[in-house]
Structure 1
Amino acid sequence: MTNLRFTSALAALALSGTLLAAPSAHAADKISIIVGGMEKQIYLPPVLCERLGFFKEQGLDVELINSRAGVEAENELLAGAVQGVVGFYDHTVDLQAKGKSIVSIVQFSAAPGEVEMLSAKDGSIKTPADLKGKTLGVTGLGSSTDFLTQYIVTRAGLKPGEFTLLPVGAGNTFIAAIKQDQIQAGMTTEPTVGQLLKTGAATVMVDLRTPDSTKAALGGPYPAASFYVQSTWLETHKDEAQKLANALVETLHWIHDHSAEEIADKMPKDYYVGDRALYVKGLTDGKAMFTADGRMPADGPETVLKVLSSFSRNLKGKTVDLSKTFTTTYVDAARTAAK
């Protein structure tokens, strides 16, 4: 058990007011899902789903666990510590090239919701080509921000070794890295983007918050935030997978039918980082990234494979079967049930 999971377990016990073990049958029914940063707006669907009570309506006992980056969540899944991950779809492609079988069963977004932010300290940088010799912030090495950053700079003509990637996390640690000039640019998401823009500490270099801006930057839709599981788990837990899909698709419908203000009202207040208006603005600007039905966007997997293949050594000489990286079976059944 990692320190994060141990802390989560203690918190749960404290809330229950007892240290007595729960019945084994109940423990076996619990589904643990790790999220690559629950406070990030790109990953709000599972938190919103829990707060709307949709998991419970499906008879599910779901535990959401926070992590700092998608690569950490991925490692927890592969170790068998959790049953599912809320992270970027591109991990399913990357892991297949490494001989692992991971499948996305609900696609939350058709755009990364990420932004390459440029520090205001260096006025000489105008385009990604100017990042030669600079240090670029990512949430973690091997994370989706790592993948996207490498694509953006290599597409601009830079070669490996001409830039440095530094894992700085998100939120306050990312902001501190920008302000202290540890990084000259970096990729992050809302609400961190809004905080940096408000203070003038950074500006937008590459915007991946909407499907249209993503298509312009990456050449097509880039399916990002998703719910994925190990194929071996899915084969023996189809009923649980369907119930999870039902709850999450219902949440996506709810997001589609409600305003950013209404969505913000349902989220934990500490996610606002002390500025609710800024949180709502970020959500308003990026709400279009979310799918309305949980389905994989057409040509999305192909864009992801193209992006990763442009720089990833893991994919060199490998054949990836994209049909095995996602399934629409469960979201389609959820839509049918809803109708």
Structure 2
Amino acid sequence: MKTIGISRLVVTLFMGLALALVSCTAAPAPSKPAEAPKQEPKQVVKEEPKPAPTQAPKAEPKQQAKEEPKPTAKPTPKPQVIKMRAAYAAVDASFLPLWVTKEAGLFEKNALDVELLFVEGGTKVMQALIGGDLQVAGIGGAPLVSAALGGADVVQVATGAPVLPYKFVTVASINEPKDLKGKTVGVSGFGSASHFVTVLALQEFGLKPDEDVTIVQTGGLSARLSALQTGANHGTVLSPPILYITEKMGLKVLGDLTEMDVSIEQGALAVNKKYMRENEEAVRRFVRAFTEGIHYLKTQKQFSVNVMKNYLKMEDAAALDEAYEFVSKKATAKAKAPYVTEKGMRLLLEQNSNNPKAATANVKDFYDNRFVKELDDSGFIKKLYGE
């Protein structure tokens, strides 16, 4: 019995040990949750399909809008074309800048529709300007000053040829100035540029106009030349290119006025002051086109010679070439910026000394350089000449 009891005791102890062992091996189970942190890398954001911060610039769909072409700016509307009527007073080369401006399309370039007419004689042109038939007059300064002293509301705004483009031509029997005493000299009209220049020349010769010499109204260049050929007149002033054919006719050049150090407003532009006040932009465009015309004349010889040939209806190539050289290199030498000169206008006033108003007149009332000055100050003229 004791043996059995011992055996049971042993069995009981063995089973207790087994249970203890089982409990010992099961004890680590609760520690498994502690291993969870080892699996945390699977939770790292890196593995999620979120873009890395450094990749953000690649996703720029919204920024593409900046690269899209901007709406095209509306084109600046073309200026409204202004119609104007202008006239020149003589068929001589001093008006070549005006002719070239017209024929080269420079008025159209400046949004002007200009009808250019020939009205013989500065006095007649001034009458048309004063009467409103013209908006711009191409004249010498002399008829403008005479008209203004007479009360006309006119002003000069540019000068294309600020020199005397004349020579005093006589019949073959006149050998020296004193031979003109008691003779007849022709001008286009009283108060015209040719009249002013004739008086100036006679004074230079030491003669008294209207005392020593009779001055008569004869007409334009062709009419005055014909009067010399027929002997109706004994002398007159002529300008290029007709001037260059006088020697072939047996006529004499008594004096070269182009060599005189005289500033004169020749080939000038005049306007009605009232029109200028009400149509300032029109006058501005006209002066700008005229300034371009002077440059075009100086740089486009063959074109300019052809224009002169057509306007003068002359075929003499040598005379045309000489006329071009004179106008391009001498007559317009100081006209890149076609300012009206105070010296020239003052001289014109002095020649009107028989008019009491001339003594008290303010010379600056006869010209307005604002439009030329605008072009000059803006650099427009320097750009034209590449300066």
Using the size of structure 1 for normalisation, the TM-score is 0.80
Name the structure 1 match of 2:185: 136
Q: Measure the CA separation in 1 of the matches of 2:149 and 2:264.
A: 19
Tell me the alpha carbon deviations over residues 126-163 of structure 1, each in whole angstroms, 9 at most, x when there is no partner: 02x43211000111222111122123324513253332
Residue of structure 1 aligned with 2:275, choices 220, 233, 237? 233
Task: Look up the equivalent residue of 1:214 and give its one-letter code.
Answer: M
Q: Measure the CA separation in 2 of the matches of 1:60 and 1:169.
A: 31
Name the structure 2 match of 1:18: none
Tell me the alpha carbon deviations over residues 142-197 of structure 1, each in whole angstroms, 9 at most, x when there is no partner: 21111221233245132533322222223432222111100110112222211212
Q: How many Å apart are 1:40 and its aligned residue?
A: 1.2
Q: Report if the CA contact (8 A) 2:148-2:154 is conserved.
A: yes
Matched, 1:146 2:195: yes
Query: Aligned pair in 2 of structure 1 residues 256, 184: CA closer, same or farther (>3 Å)?
Result: same
Q: Measure the CA separation in 1 of the matches of 2:318 and 2:207.
A: 39
Q: Measure the CA separation in 2 of the matches of 1:165 and 1:159.
A: 7
Residue of structure 2 aligned with 1:314, choices 343, 355, 372? 355
Task: Look up the equivalent residue of 1:328 and give its one-letter code.
Answer: N
Secondary structure of the residue that 2:99 maps to in structure 1?
Answer: helix
What is the root-mean-square deviation of aligned Cα atoms in Å? 2.2
Q: Report if the CA contact (8 A) 2:146-2:191 is conserved.
A: no
Task: Look up the equivalent residue of 1:187 and give its one-letter code.
Answer: V
Matched, 1:184 2:234: yes
Q: How many Å apart are 1:299 and its aligned residue?
A: 2.3
Residue of structure 1 aligned with 2:133, choices 59, 81, 91? 81
Matched, 1:41 2:57: no
Secondary structure of the residue that 1:308 maps to in structure 2?
Answer: coil
Query: Aligned pair in 2 of structure 1 residues 96, 173: CA closer, same or farther (>3 Å)?
Result: closer
Aligned length: 297
Tell which has more relative contact order, 1 or 2 (C-alpha 8 A, sep 6+).
Answer: 1
Matched, 1:165 2:209: no
Q: Report if the CA contact (8 A) 1:96-1:320 is conserved.
A: no
Q: Measure the CA separation in 2 of the matches of 1:276 and 1:196.
A: 15
Q: Report if the CA contact (8 A) 1:58-1:247 is conserved.
A: yes
Q: Report if the CA contact (8 A) 2:342-2:364 is conserved.
A: no
Q: Report if the CA contact (8 A) 1:131-1:163 is conserved.
A: yes
Secondary structure of the residue that 2:132 maps to in structure 1?
Answer: coil
Task: Look up the equivalent residue of 2:85 and give its one-letter code.
Answer: S
Q: How many Å apart are 1:315 and its aligned residue?
A: 4.3
Q: Measure the CA separation in 2 of the matches of 1:315 and 1:153.
A: 22
**Percent of aligned positions that are identical:** 19
Name the structure 2 match of 1:14: none
In structure 1, the gaps of 5 or more residues are: 1-25
Name the structure 1 match of 2:152: 100
Name the structure 2 match of 1:264: 305
Q: How many Å apart are 1:270 and its aligned residue?
A: 5.5
Query: Aligned pair in 2 of structure 1 residues 49, 60: CA closer, same or farther (>3 Å)?
Result: same
Name the structure 1 match of 2:296: 254
Q: Measure the CA separation in 2 of the matches of 1:82 and 1:67.
A: 11
Secondary structure of the residue that 1:61 maps to in structure 2?
Answer: strand
